[in-house]
Amino acid sequence: MIISLKKIYAKNENIKAYLLLFPALMLVILAMASPMLLTFLTSFHTQVSMMEIDTTLTIDRYKDFFNKPVYTTLLGRSLKISFFVTLVTLITTYPLAYYIAFYVKKNKMLWIVLMTLPFWTSYLLRVFSWKVILGHKGVVNSALMAVGMIEEPLGFLIYSQTAVVLTLAHAWAAFAILPLYVSLDKIDKSLLEASYDLGNSKFQTFWRVTFPLSLPGVIGAILIIFIPTVGDYVTPQLVGGTDGRMLSNMIQALFGRANNFPLGAASAVIMLLSVSSVALIVTYITRKVSLRMS
Amino acid sequence: MYKKNNILFLYSILYFAFLYIPVMLLPVFSFNDAIHMVFPLKGFTLKWYDQMIHASRLHQALFNSIKVGVIASIFSTLIALLAAKAFTKYKLRLRQLSYGAILLPFVIPEIIIAVSLIVLWTGMGLQLGLIPVTLSHILFCTPFCMLVLISRMEGFDKNLEEAAMDLGENAWGTFWRVTFPLVLPAIVASLLLSFVISFDEFILAFFLTSNDQTLPLYMWGQLRFPKKLPHVLALGAVIIVATSIIVMLSYWLRNLGNPSGKKNNIGGI
């Protein structure tokens, strides 16, 4: 019996592999999947009083969410802000990744390290320094006033959706630079030479060869920026003001002061479902486009 | 492959400035002899650093952060090491699915993971505190460690392991004498990077702790009080310098004696 078990173990690579994967999978199941399922379940409950939750299943929390305009507004705004963060980050980092991949010859690694280093330094402090830069008495305003270019502080700089987009585009830059650089660097350079030999201009070559081949990196960057930023809490709290409040600030209130776990859970479920479906659609479209282009 | 492009070069330098100016601003103001962060600078002082050294609640928060960070980095690196071994050595069924599942905590909005763990923790009648914070950090760091380790393990020659086996080593001996020394730099890098991630992490700690603060939570609490701000800036400057050194060190380690000969080993950041 034991011998035959040993034989099965020796022969079966899957068993060996899954024994090694066991801790990692258990971690995901116990610390992520089951809490998320429980949250999903809680979203069908009702908060009766501070300590008491009625566990009769109901879809009222979802009705609450969609009936009160504040929730749908915040959801829409969160998706909109993340969309613009993703777009701005992609557009501003693409030329950089392109430059490192095709023009930098020596010390490419150093460039990459320097471009990603700020990402490792305290997220909280980076967001905070944007508050200092954009604030009413902030760096931009005080500098402009000191040189006499403006007489009163520019009020529109901080506490707006633009401030949130700018700050997040700065905070998440590394997540776009890396996948873009990796996909651009992988491109077989002889393809580009072939394109020139066939009479394409530099611009045509970029548009017909380089860009379509870099789309996997673009998709990677979209997924890794769009989904997490929807749930960002710190940035809207520090630089968003009332105009820049996002759904996560509401979720925090529901799990904190407002103490309405079921409605908070429903909001979290809706956030996750909507952001994943948007991300799936965007990925699908990008894939289609890349197939048509190449 | 191309020769020169001045416009792109100029753009890269400007973008570089955009990336670094907000980060460098805090250290600059940490030496400024004024409470408000306003230009022009007033004068040089070290008093904020003195205030930082004598803030006792800060010490407690620092100790908590180090405790959480050390435990989280050890556990996530261990779990990730086993998983990385499975993915690089074996052809397994449902590979993509398992791989995706393990990477998922890295992509899902942190706030979702945070509130889910609150629901689980309070549902089980447990007290929030540093334990759920540490658990969530292990969950969040593991995908990262796995990517770092896989990029190293894929790089080295499988024949080395087979040669050790042929020379009579058992599986354990092969691992200990061949695989481990080759992967060691990546293991250290993984420990360092996951420590930095945990040390910096705000949202999960913010939601999942009760009274025990980690360092980012301490800073968050102080940001509201203008008078307390300068010593947070001093703290921020120290953190920026320390994390930069750790990260540089880990990048260097990851390329140290890279047997694949590839210089640009940046797989998974």
Token pair of A268, please? 């979290």
Classify residue A206 by burial, with Cβ atoms within 10 Å: 0-12, 13-18, 19+: middle
Q: What Å distances lie between residue B159 and A27, B175, B210, B252, B266, CA to CA? A: 32, 13, 52, 26, 24
Q: Give the count of alpha carbons within 13 A of A201, CB side only.
A: 2
Question: Cis bond leading into A179, ω under 30°?
Answer: no
Tell me the two tokens of residue A165: 């987009």
What pLDDT was estimated at residue B266?
A: 47
Task: Look at residue B43 and tell me whether its pLDDT is greater than 50.
Answer: yes
CB contact under 8 A, B116 and A39: yes
Residue B116 lies in a domain: yes
Side chain identity at residue A96, one-letter code: L
> Looking at the predicted structure, is the pLDDT value of residue B260 above 60?
no
Residue B168 lies in a domain: no
Query: Distance (Å, rounded) from C-alpha B194 to C-alpha B68?
Result: 11
Contact A251, A241 (CB under 8 A): no
Nearest chain B Cα distance for residue A293, angstroms: 23
Residues facing residue A190 across a β-bridge = none
State how far the Cα of A86 lies from the Cα of B173, in Å rounded to an integer: 48
Residues of B in contact with A126 (CB under 8 A): 22-23
Q: What is the pLDDT of residue B84?
A: 92
Chain B residue nearest residue A168, CA to CA: B19
**C-alpha distance from B220 to closest chain A C-alpha (Å):** 8
Contact B115 A142 (CB under 8 A): no
Contact flag B89-A138 (C-beta cutoff 8 Å): no
Show the CA angle centred on residue B255, arms to residues B165 and B76, nearest 5°.
75
Residue B175 lies in a domain: no
Tell me which residue has tokens 């060996």: A16
Is residue B22 domain-resident? no
Count of structural domains, chain B: 1
Do B102 and A25 lie within an 8 Å CB cutoff?
A: yes
B109 CB burial (10 A radius; 0-12, 13-18, 19+): buried
Model confidence pLDDT, tens digit, residues B15-31 = 999 999 888 888 888 88
A91 in contact with chain B, both atoms CB, cutoff 8 A: no
Rounded percentage of chain B residues whose pLDDT exceeds 90: 44
* Burial of B160 per CB tally in 10 Å (0-12, 13-18, 19+): middle
How many angstroms separate the Cα of B50 from the Cα of each of A232, A252, B26, B30, B47? 34, 35, 16, 11, 5
Distance from CA of A1 to the nearest CA of B (A): 23
Q: What is the pLDDT of residue B131?
A: 95
Tell me, yes or no, whether B16 lies in a domain: no
Structure tokens at B191: 């420990």
Q: What is the per-residue pLDDT for B165?
A: 81
Q: Give B261 or A262, the one with higher predicted confidence.
A: A262
Quote the radius of gyration of chain A (alpha carbons, Å): 25
Q: Considering only alpha carbons, which residue of chain B is nearest residue A263?
A: B115
The distance of B222 to chain A (nearest Cα, Å) reads: 12
> Alpha helices, DSSP H only, in chain A?
2-11, 13-28, 34-42, 60-67, 69-102, 108-120, 123-134, 139-146, 161-171, 173-186, 189-197, 202-205, 211-230, 234-235, 247-255, 261-293
Q: What tokens were used for A170?
A: 């700065």
Residue (of A217, A277, A226) closest to A94 by Cα position: A217
Residue B8 in any domain: the answer is no
Distance of residue A287 Cα from the nearest chain B Cα, in angstroms: 19
C-alpha distances out from residue A289 to A211, A215, A280, A283, B82, Å: 11, 9, 14, 10, 38
Hey, which residues 47-86 in chain A have their CB within 8 Å of chain B? none
DSSP string, B58-103: HHHHHHHHHHHHHHHHHHHHHHHHHHHHHHHH---TTHHHHHHHHH
Q: Rounded to an integer, what distance in angstroms lies between the CA atom of residue B113 and that of residue B108?
A: 7
Closest residue, chain A, to B117 (C-alpha): A35
| Confidence band, pLDDT 50/70/90 cuts, at residue B32 | confident
Q: What is the 3-state secondary structure (H, E, C) of A184-216?
A: HHHCCHHHHHHHHHCCCCHHHHHHHHHHHHHHH
Q: Is B26 contained in some domain? A: no
Q: Which residues of A touch B111 (CB under 8 A)?
A: 231-233, 248, 251-252, 268
Contact of B260 with B143, CB cutoff 8 Å: no
C-alpha A155/C-alpha A145 separation (Å) is: 13
Residues of A in contact with B15 (CB under 8 A): 92-93, 95-96
Chain A, 251 to 290: residues with Cβ < 8 Å from chain B are 251-252, 255, 261, 264-265, 268, 271-272, 275
Mean pLDDT along residues B128-137? 95
Q: Encoding tokens for residue A139?
A: 């760096």
Model pLDDT for residues B134-171, shown as the tens digit of each residue: 999 999 999 999 998 998 888 776 777 788 888 888 87
Q: Digits of tens for pLDDT over chain A (294 positions)?
A: 566 666 666 667 788 888 899 999 999 999 999 999 999 999 999 888 777 788 888 888 999 999 999 999 999 999 999 999 999 999 999 999 999 998 888 888 888 888 888 888 888 989 998 988 888 777 788 888 888 888 777 777 888 899 999 999 999 999 999 999 999 988 888 888 888 888 888 888 888 888 888 888 998 899 889 999 999 999 999 998 888 889 999 999 999 888 899 999 999 999 999 998 988 888 888 778 777 766
CB contacts of B85 in chain A (<8 Å) are: 20
Residue B24, number of CB atoms within 10 A of its CB? 15
pLDDT at B144: 92
pLDDT at residue B192, rounded to an integer:
93
Give which of B25, B38, B95, B115 to mutate to test A binding, by max A Cβ within 10 Å.
B115
**Contact check, Cβ <8 Å, B115/A251:** yes
Kindly state the average pLDDT of the residues B212-231.
Answer: 88
In a domain, B27, yes or no: no
Q: Which domains are seen in chain A, by residue range?
A: 73-293 (1.10.3720.10)
Which residue range is the domain that position B94 belongs to? 48-157+184-255
CATH number at residue B146: 1.10.3720.10
pLDDT tens track for B70-82: 999 999 999 999 9
Instruction: Identify from A21, A74, A254, A259 which residue to disrupt to test chain B contact, counting B C-beta atoms within 10 A and taking the largest count.
Output: A21
Give the ipTM: 0.87
